[in-house]
Structures are given as C-alpha cells and as structure tokens.
Structure 1
Amino acid sequence: MNTSGHAADAVRDDTGGLRLAPFRGLRYVPERVGSLAAVTSPPYDVVVRPDGLLELESADPYNIVRLILPQAITAGTRHRKAAATLDRWLADGVLAPDPEPALYVYEQQGDGVLQRGVIGALELSTPAEGVVLPHEDVMPHVVEDRAALMRTTAANLEPLLLTYVGEGDGVDEVVGRTVHREPLLATTTEDGFHHRLWAVTDPAEQATVAAKLGRHQALIADGHHRWATYLRLRGEHVSPGPWNYGLVLLVDTARYPLRVRAIHRLLNRLPVAEALAALDGSFRVRRVDRPLPAALEALAAAAAGGNAFLLAGDGPFHLVDRPDPALLDRTVRADRPEAWRTLDATVLHATLLEHVWGIPDAPEDIAYIHDAAAAVDQAERRGGTAVLMHPVCEDVVRDLARQGVTMPRKSTSFGPKPATGLVLRSLALD
C-alpha cells in the first residue's frame, strides 16, 4: 500500500502499536440505488440463511449481499460471480471511489446505544506481536472461503470491528469535531439504527489519529475469520503493498462501550429428545414452559451460578445446568486458565458436543446463529436442537486475549456491528 504522505508514516516509530492508514473508500452512488439502507446488510456471518439472504437480495438489485454472499453451485463460481458483479457495478457507476484517501468516522445510534469509531486500513500484525489480540479460534473452511472471495474480488468488502481502550486523547477530539460537519451519508436501516459516515481528509487530523492509535493495542470484537483471512493473503503477497493492510473499524470502548451477546448453536442432526436422554445423570434438566424472553431470563439466572444452557426445538425450553464436576474434570483441558475452563462455550464444545452428544465439528452438523428466535425457529423446522447461550463478560474476553488464550470459536458477539455496504476498500486503488 502506498502510504506516502499519509497517516501511516506518522507512526513509523518504535511504539509497536496500531498503524492505521487512510484509503480511497468505495461507496454507493446514492442516485444509482433505491436507498442506502436497502443496499446494506449485516456482516456475512450474521445473515440468517436462507430467509434473511433472500430478503436482502430482494431489497435492492444492488444489495451488498450479492458481493459478500454470492449464490452459485460451486465455491469457485460464487467467488467469480462476486468479482464480476463488483466490476460491473464499478463500470456502471453504482459504486465509485472517493477522490482522495481518507479515514472515515462512523456513527451508529439506536436501541439506546451511541457508537462512534474510525474506519481505516490497518497494517496487519501477528498475534505474537501483541498489537491485535484475537480471542476466539477460527474454522479453517470459513477462512478458506473468505480468502478465496477476497482474493478473487481484490477487495475488503466489510470492516472488522476492533476495540481499544482510549485515554480521551486526540482521536476523540478529531471524532468530536468531525461529527459536527455535514456527513458523506446518513441512513436508517430496517433495525432502526441510524448510520452516519464522514471522511477525514485533512493530513494533520489523519496524523493525529494515527499517532494516538500508535500507542494502543486492539481486541478483535468481530471478524476473527476475516482477520485470519487478511493474514493468509498477506502471506501470499510477500512484497509490501495493499495486502499488508485490512479494512477495520476501531472503537474506543472507554468512550463507547460495546454490548456483548451470545452466539447460539443449531445442532442440525440431533433431535431434542435424543439430546435430553444423553444428559441423564450428567446435568440437571428442567422444563421451562415460558415465552423465549422469559426462558432467556431463566438461563441468565442459572448462568450466574455456573454453566447453563437452554435447549429448544420441540416446543418448550429445557434448562440444562449443574454439570457433574467429575465429568468436567475428565473432559475439559486442565492446562488452561480457570476462566477458560469454566466458560460455557468450553463446556459446551469439550463436554457436551464432543463427549456427551458426539457431534462432529462440521458445518453440516453445527450452525452458528446470532439471533435466539431464529435459532429456535430453525431447530423446530429441521427437527434439530437449538442450544441457546448466555453471553460472556467483556473483561473475561479481554483478560484471556491478553494471556494469549483463545476461546472456543463463536463464543461472543460484540455489537452493534458496522453495517456492511457503507464503505468498501478496493486493493486495486491502493
């Protein structure tokens, strides 16, 4: 990436922190689409398929889901279709690059939350360097798919969500000044969230943001698979250049705390009756005949006292808690910190999925769904079992990450997540 004269040069020192560079963002041309809201999407892994995918595709012929989740029979055909679609939209003026490199201030507001952060091209670093801290394991097949899509399109189609703990320094000052200017775009998505985006093109402001971020490390809040994809593709391009950078949104959680939610599991081939029968004697099981919100409250109360899960798929809910300590001792690794050993996700994967239920770690057997109601609905339609989880505290996540300990995949869902489609990064422009 050519960073000459840009913010990245301002932090080429020995701080060893975050190195954020401006880039020429690709954005929708408002006159060419029905509305900006209609062309946006949640991140690719939050889209509930197939219903949510079809809804997004029908919202607007240029919805970003056609790039992040292209539909075709084979993987290779899907990725080539996305690349051809991107090229066609650029040629037709549906998408266009901004005239000069910028950092972008992004604001989301809704559901009692105000979140602001900075979008830019972040220089990549390995976990050993301790600049960007992952906290979850990844699934190789997902990284392979995202890498093939990114490689074929030569684009970062959606930003990762990274958090850092600021000091009320220059970044917040630049953001505060920027949000009083006229935004590049403003839209309200179907979930009621208001989105605004500004470009920071002043070299002095870019340098201030970059220099202050150079003092910090960041936690990956959302996008572990895309971060692993960035690192893989950087390894394929040995010369310094655009593949050394990846598109991110950095949020100061000291100023704008994120919400942490759970990610639920859908066991496609395990009926609830079989799941419950296998638990006999190893967990306490109680039937919960309440609506979903009340059942989740019961789960939260149980989780306060130890590992707890809510099973669904046959009508009622089933609260599963109080695992047999001897069973945990046999099935959970002893060479990890206690905070990791007692995670619900650890017990679910090591004890329940692997030992009690014998569920293979394969996408056809386990699906990961962010929305609890969607997980229950799909379990009931497929005759499977939804395993509803209680969220982990952010302090636990950050502490484990700093120790270099990764949590089981899809353990957390930080939010609000950035809307996909507001600004993209083309590697060809860098």
Structure 2
Amino acid sequence: MPGMGTPELPVPDGLVLRPFRGVRFAVEDPAKVTSPPYDLISDANVEALLSSHPNNVVRLILPCSPAGDSSSAPVPGQDTEPRPVDGAPSSPEAGRENSHPGTGPASPRPGTGPEGSRTGTAPEKRPGAGPSPQAQAPLGGQPDTVTPLPAQAPLESRYIEARDTLKAWLDSGVLVADDVPALYVYEQSGAGVLQRGLIGDVGLTDPEQRIILPHEDVMPGPVADRLALMSTTQANLEPIFLLYDGANGTATRLVDAVASDRQPQVSARTEDGLTHRLWAITDPEEIAAINADLHDRQALIADGHHRYATYRVLQRQEHESHLQADPAGEPAPDGDEPTPPPTGPAPERTGPAAGPIRPVPEPIDQASQRVDSAGARRHDPSAQVDGAPAGEDGPADAGRSTAGPWDFGLALLVDTSAYPPDLQAIHRVIPGLPLDEAAARAKGSWRVHDYDDLARGLAALEEAAEPAFLLAGEIGAHLLTDPDPVQLAHAMPPDRSGRWNSLNTSVLSEFVMPKVWGMRDNERTVRIVHHDARAAARLAARSGGTAVILNPLKAEEVLAVAAGGERVPRKSTSFGPKPRTGLVLRTFAID
C-alpha cells in the first residue's frame, strides 16, 4: 500500500481529450487581449501588448505589476486604442530578436528560461522550487553552471497579482465562462498557413506509457516558475501544443466539418497577419467519437515541455495536498466497485511515433481510478458518455486518489497528416567568440567554405549535406561541412543511438562546441534566436561574436528520436504555428 503523502495517481488508458468549460474574454476585439506564448515574449513585447489593451492576457501569464491594478479593468466590451510605446516593436512577433540577454530594455521577468528562452541567463529561484535552479541539472540532462540573476522584487507577489487579476476579470465580466463543457476547434489561417486542431483537457500520462511523448529535456527553473503561477491561480492559462498522426480519421474529419459548416464563437486577426477562429463542440456523441478515434494514438509534445512537466508536478502536489487533508478517504456508496486496471498485453499505438506501449513503471492498484477514454472523470456522475452517466468513485483508501481537474492539462492537438507542422531552426549566438577565431579553429576538423556575404552562405547551407553549420557575424560567413569522421565518431556519445548522434544539434552540442571551441551549449555562454538567421547574424555583430546558423531538423527525425525514448538536445526544434494565448483559458474551479 502506498505510504502517506504518495498517492496513486489516476492513469489514463489512452490518449484522452476531455471537454471543459472554457473561459473567454468578452471584449470587442479579442485579438487585442491575446499574446504569443509566454516564453516568446520580450520585455518590449510586454509593453506593446499592454498598450494594445489593458486586459491583455500577458498580465496573467507574465505578471509584472504594470501601471494600474486589476481593479481598474474596463467594463466588458470596452476597448482602448493602442498607445505608442517608445522602442516597442510594431507587433508582438517583431521583438523576437530582443528576446535574448542584453537586447531588451528591462530586467528579466518570471517565465524566462529554456522553454522558449526569452533570456539566456539562468532561471530565477521560484517559491517551492527547492535548491537553487542554478545548481540543478536539466531534468534528464547534465548540470550546467550558470550566472545568478540580480535580485528582484519578491516573486510571490507577482503570482498573487495574477491570481487577483484573474478573479477581478471574472467578477467584472471581462472574462466569462461558457455554460457547457466543450472541446474547441481552433483554426489558424493566413498567407501560406492553415492549421486546425482540437483544444481540450488532455489526460496526463507518464512518458513511459508511450501516450504523450516529450522530445526535449526540461530545466527546473521554468517548471518551478510555471508551477507557482498555475498553483496560485489554479488555472491553465495557455495550451501546450501536441501533434499526432490521425490519418485523417474521425476526429480530423469532424474538425474540418465544424470549421467549414458552423459559425465560430471567436474570430480574431492578430498583428502577425494570422486569423484565429474558435468553435465549441458540445454534443456528447461527437465528443465520444473524437475520443474513440484518439484513444489508441500517440501524441508528441511540439511546444510546451516545461508546462507539461508542470502539469504533472502540480498533479502530484494537489493529490498529496488532498490526501493530507483527508487521509482516511471518502467511503464509496454501497455496492460501488472499483474499476480494475487494464489487463493483458499492451496494445499497439498509432501516431507520430508509433510503437508498443511500455508498461507503466509503478503497479496500478485495483482501487486506483482511471480516466475514462471518452473524456469523462469517473468521480463526476453528471458527465455524459454516449448519453449515459459516467461511473462514480470506488472506495478510496489512504494513498489512493480519484481524478480531479489537476489530472488534465490544457492542450491543442493537431493531426500532422492533415496539417503538417512548420518546423524551423533555433540558431545560436556566442558573444565571446570572434567570428575569425571560430572559423580558424574549425579548420582542424571541418572543411570551411568562405563567403563574402550572408545571403550566399545561407544558400550554400540550405544545399549542404548534414551535418553543416554557417558561422556569421559582422563581416562575411563561413560554412562548415564534411567533418573529420574519426574526430566526429570519437566525440559523439557511445550510449546514444545513431539516430540521435546524426542530428545537427547533437553534433553541435557534443562536437563543435566542446571539442572545437572548448565550451558548452548552455545558457551561460550561448544566446538563442528563433528562426531568423539574419537576426542572429546582427546580434553576433553587435556583440563581437559568432552566430551559428542551422538548418531545421526534419519532423520525422524528431519523432523517431522521441519514439526511441531519447530527447533531442536543448533548443533543437521550433514547431509552428504555435497556439495564440488568450483565446480560451481554463480554471480548475470552473472546469
């Protein structure tokens, strides 16, 4: 029997997407209250977003005590005109280059760190995080030595501010909850862009179950930060991004039918040129059909590794808290029997990384609760599955828990067979390494091609066989190709798969950085720039350093590594288009 304080957690028996009562902004122009994901927002972006609308969701996801307080929120439907901010970019996406140390006008904010790395310095210590994150290793990785951040105002007040702002907006009607639980069809469209998927409560699983697959390690600092925010607000304020191979199945066909034939509840055009539309699916039969289609599939975490890790930490924390508050458990009604765990051999799964499910690492007691595959919580007798009430709780002994809102996390699920992802590269900038020195030192193990201008170098990189890297800075560019095979083989870790060792980011982190340049690819020495190679070169030129420009990985490479139970090196992938934050929120009390 589990000991006190270590409850058995509900175990989903497949990929589950449960309906929830979405919380949405009641404003005239919903675009003005949305934002990019928290980890892609620079300090200048924060000011621009707040100038667009005082109720912008950035006040919840990155609380930073802007002028005014939560009690001064406008009445529902009242918009304010944008106010120009000196030095602010013209759109939230325009400030991405400034999302790195030394390029923004203000000090780092909570939430900065490896998930999208708005800064290259160390994450701050968060309430309840235990030892300082500066002294901790990546969760699943190796220790890094990083420079502590300067002292800041107490972080607890920022999380409390987000909680109080959320409550004030709900009380005043700035935020309104939908009456009926729903799965939400979400569409992003624009020039050359069309992506549709489903937003709902995804059932949380251990990676060993092979249902939801991570492909990157996470760092403790951002997890502690998001944990403090989620636990204080008791909310999921922005969805993670999951991909699965749905083979244009029932769920995808329904998504397309809804987007084609029904009127959206929300339509918003954001400054990046994308139009975002949202529909609610509330019919129990449609929800059951979606979950029947999803049940045996696998999903890959495309964006949101730190938030998914936070979901799982919060899940255990909340179950332990409730166990301590009620150690004896609640007796079940007479005659109600516990749900037995699945028996027999593990079924095969289909999806972006198809393969057999590994056994759950801990034994599942027969009294442990499972999440119903149609998306209903078993302890909620009002939940409908195919028109019939879901089962009630079985007996609960000490150490055993029933499913609650913390056993799910807000997620967008997209079928890659219908909507292939846009996978882009994340480039590095090394301020302390002059470009000429970087190229000279590479000549001992790489073939180095010199180019007079960046455009020619970028064209050559695009055509080069992997692994290949373009070094750029103030003047010219240098393409690295054809590494010495003996030196490369000696540098790559023997305990890694050949697939992992062939990734360009693996070669960079294990060979080029430590062996050629004598440094590690970590937050202390390296800044990162999403997507924009020219922005990386400009940043390198300003800092007198070197930009390392990479070709993007292929989606199938990432999926194959994840299927093998490995993680790609940090900052290897940037999947898009990422879901816009603020279109639909989830609170545990309303859920």
TM-score of the pair, normalised by structure 1: 0.88
More strand by share: 1
- Pair 1:77–1:279, CA change in 2 (3 A): farther
Q: Give CA deviations for 1:280-318 in whole Å, capped at 9, x if unaligned.
A: 4122333333355x543321112xx12111223324333
1:325 to 479, 485, 490: 485
Flag the structure with larger Rg.
2
1:299 to 438, 448, 461: 461
For 1:376, the aligned partner's letter is: A
Residue 404 of structure 2 is aligned to residue 407 of structure 1: no
For 2:406, the aligned partner's letter is: W
Question: Matches of 2:526 and 2:171 in 1, distance apart?
Answer: 40
Which residue number corresponds to residue 128 of structure 1? 208
2:35 to 28, 33, 41: 41
Question: Matches of 1:428 and 1:343 in 2, distance apart?
Answer: 44
For 1:184, the aligned partner's letter is: Q
Question: Matches of 1:399 and 1:223 in 2, distance apart?
Answer: 19
1:290 to 453, 457, 461: 453
1:44: Cα distance to partner?
Answer: 2.0
Which residue number corresponds to residue 356 of structure 2? none
Which runs of 5 or more residues in structure 2 are unaligned?
1-9, 65-108, 110-151, 320-400
Moved over 6 A (4+): none
1:277: Cα distance to partner?
Answer: 4.0
Identity %: 48
Residues 37-116 of structure 1 correspond to what in structure 2 (within 5 A)?
Answer: 37-47=31-41, 49-71=42-64, 73-74=152-153, 75-116=155-196
Question: Matches of 1:53 and 1:298 in 2, distance apart?
Answer: 37
If asked which structure has higher relative contact order (CA below 8 Å, sep 6+), I would say 1
Residue 22 of structure 2 is aligned to residue 25 of structure 1: yes
Which residue number corresponds to residue 385 of structure 1? 546
1:133: Cα distance to partner?
Answer: 1.0
Residues 343-362 of structure 1 correspond to what in structure 2 (within 5 A)?
Answer: 343-360=503-520, 362=522
Question: Matches of 1:398 and 1:286 in 2, distance apart?
Answer: 32
Question: Matches of 2:540 and 2:46 in 1, distance apart?
Answer: 18
For 1:301, the aligned partner's letter is: E
- Pair 1:342–1:123, CA change in 2 (3 A): same
Q: Give CA deviations for 1:10-31 in whole Å, capped at 9, x if unaligned.
A: xx999x3211101111111123
Residue 198 of structure 2 is aligned to residue 118 of structure 1: yes
- Pair 1:95–1:270, CA change in 2 (3 A): farther
1:275 to 438, 447, 450: 438
More helix by share: 1
Equivalent pair of 2:26/2:175 in contact (CA under 8 Å): yes
1:90: Cα distance to partner?
Answer: 2.3
Which residue number corresponds to residue 221 of structure 2? 141
The aligned length equals 411
Question: Matches of 2:184 and 2:553 in 1, distance apart?
Answer: 30
Residue 187 of structure 2 is aligned to residue 190 of structure 1: no
1:139: Cα distance to partner?
Answer: 2.4
Question: Matches of 1:53 and 1:323 in 2, distance apart?
Answer: 43
1:95: Cα distance to partner?
Answer: 1.8
Question: Matches of 2:158 and 2:429 in 1, distance apart?
Answer: 25
Equivalent pair of 2:11/2:205 in contact (CA under 8 Å): no
Secondary structure class of the residue paired with 2:271: coil
Equivalent pair of 2:429/2:536 in contact (CA under 8 Å): yes
Residue 328 of structure 2 is aligned to residue 236 of structure 1: no
- Pair 1:207–1:349, CA change in 2 (3 A): same
- Return 132-141 or 68-77, whichever deviates more: 68-77
Question: Matches of 1:94 and 1:283 in 2, distance apart?
Answer: 58
1:215 to 296, 305, 309: 296
Question: Matches of 2:158 and 2:523 in 1, distance apart?
Answer: 18
Which residue number corresponds to residue 160 of structure 1? 240
- Pair 1:408–1:218, CA change in 2 (3 A): same
**What RMSD in Å do the two structures reach over aligned CA positions?**
2.3
- Return 232-241 or 254-263, whichever deviates more: 232-241
For 2:20, the aligned partner's letter is: F
- Pair 1:61–1:360, CA change in 2 (3 A): farther
